[in-house]
Amino acid sequence: MPPAFGLFWDVDGTMAETEGDGHRRAFNAAFAERGLPWRWSMAGYGELLRISGGGESLRHWLATAPPGAPGDQAGQWAMAAELQERKQVHYGRIVAAGALAPRPGVARLIQDAAAAGWRQWIVTTSRRRAVEALLCTRPFQPLGSAFCGWICGEDVTRKKPDPQAYAMALRQSGLAPHQVVVLEDSPHGLEAARRAGLRCLATPSRGTGDRGLTGAAAVVDHLGDGPQQPATVLTGPALGSQPHVDLAYLEGLLHLQGSPSPVRPAPPGP
């Protein structure tokens, strides 16, 4: 029997450009609906993505006292909760309208891994309803059956960069760290994978850029989709005979010199 391999997928920014094209637009729609004079630019939103979690980044921003924000923390947190809830509604509408497509190579790699028997898991600390909204759209719907399970924000008590979500995925999948490659786009996700002892292939998104991705086994601009959309390796091993990331490339990352170890034991999840 061939050895088992696993592929753990982040969602936002990794599978699709959901941050700038989805969540940012949804936040701006929620602001406008409330009559607030705020509009987040792509550059400004990229800075907020340094803080893990949409609700957390919104609370952080409200604490900077933009015009119209409550002056006390209790009021800021209450406003953040209300806006976050409305933002999820607007995000669902944006996704349902077909505004978000898989990034290059995502559908191909999911299908190839499924055909080869790789165990694939979604590992995100985003809310489950946001993941469901994306995976129920037409471009993603055929891919849903490829996943053995999901770990979402409601399943953990600590968000990335804490390794809790990846530790939970390892336990539930029955895989060992040396069998798994993680696909991430952000420093938070990379750090979570690293602290869980996992190899990570980083594909920076427009929201995160390639900052803070030192320590990934490799960084590519995207996964690539044949000669029309070839992948470019930014750091790490060169691609093989194909102009895209394939399963052979991922296996090669698992065999790189030195095996990552958890920085500290990942505590059990709830």
Whole-angstrom distance, CA of residue 17 vs CA of residue 206: 7
Q: In terms of domains, do 11 and 53 share one?
A: no
Q: Over the stretch 179-208, which tens digit does the pLDDT of each residue have?
A: 999 999 999 999 999 999 999 999 999 877
SS3 183: strand
Residue 264 lies in a domain: no
Task: Summarize pLDDT for 33-64 with one digit per residue, the tens.
Answer: 999 999 999 888 888 888 877 788 899 999 99
- What's the helix, strand, coil split of the chain in %, to 5? 40, 15, 45
Look at residue 159 and tell me if it is in a domain. Answer: yes
From 12, 185, 225, 246, active-site residue: 12
Q: Looking at residues 255-260, what average pLDDT do you find?
A: 69
Residues 114 and 237 in one domain: yes
For residue 195, what is the domain's CATH number? 3.40.50.1000
* One domain, residues 77 and 189: no
Same domain, 112 and 81: no
Let me know whether 219 and 145 are in one domain. yes
Q: Cβ(264)–Cβ(257) under 8 Å? A: no
Q: Are residues 110 and 67 in the same domain?
A: no
CATH of the domain at 63: 1.10.150.240
Is 210 tagged catalytic?
no
Same domain for 137 and 52, yes or no, is no
Residues 46 and 177 in one domain: no
User: What pLDDT does 212 receive?
Assistant: 77
Query: Domain check: are 72 and 156 in the same one?
Result: no
10 is catalytic: yes
Query: Is residue 260 included in any domain, yes or no?
Result: no
Which band of pLDDT confidence, cut at 50, 70 and 90, is reported for residue 13? very high
Indicate if 106 and 236 belong to the same structural domain.
yes
Cα angle 207, 211, 215 (rounded to 5 degrees) comes to 125
Range of 55's domain? 19-96
Give the residue from 96, 119, 153 where a domain finishes.
Answer: 96
Q: Please count the structural domains in the chain.
A: 2
Give the span between the Cα atoms of 110 and 113, in whole angstroms: 5
* Confidence label for 1 from pLDDT (cuts 50, 70 and 90): low
